[in-house]
Amino acid sequence: MDIEDLEPRKQAPKPRDLDSLGVEQLEEYLAELQAEVARVEEKIAAKKSYRSGADAFFKS
């Protein structure tokens, strides 16, 4: 048995109720999501760069 089997599983967050939001609120929410996507993409690029540098170092 793995230790992961003993830990409670995280539930995925429930989607936000969009029906109750107005157009301006939806636009603000979309801008927040787009900013988060950009932040994640930057982090992925940084990690790939770091990894490729490490791979090049150890292949030498």
**Rounded distance, CA 41 to CA 24, Å?**
26
The residue range of the domain holding 51 is: 22-60
Structural domains counted in the chain: 1
- Give a yes or no: residue 32 inside a domain: yes
Q: 12-59, pLDDT tens digit by residue?
A: 888 999 999 999 999 999 999 999 999 999 999 999 888 777 777 777
27 in a domain, yes or no? yes
DSSP per position, 30-60: HHHHHHHHHHHHHHHHHHHHHHHHHHHHHH-
In one-letter notation, the amino acid at residue 45 is A
**This prediction's pTM:** 0.63
Does 2 map to a domain? no
- Please, which pLDDT band fits residue 1 given cuts at 50, 70 and 90? low
pLDDT at 60: 60
Model pLDDT, residue 50: 81
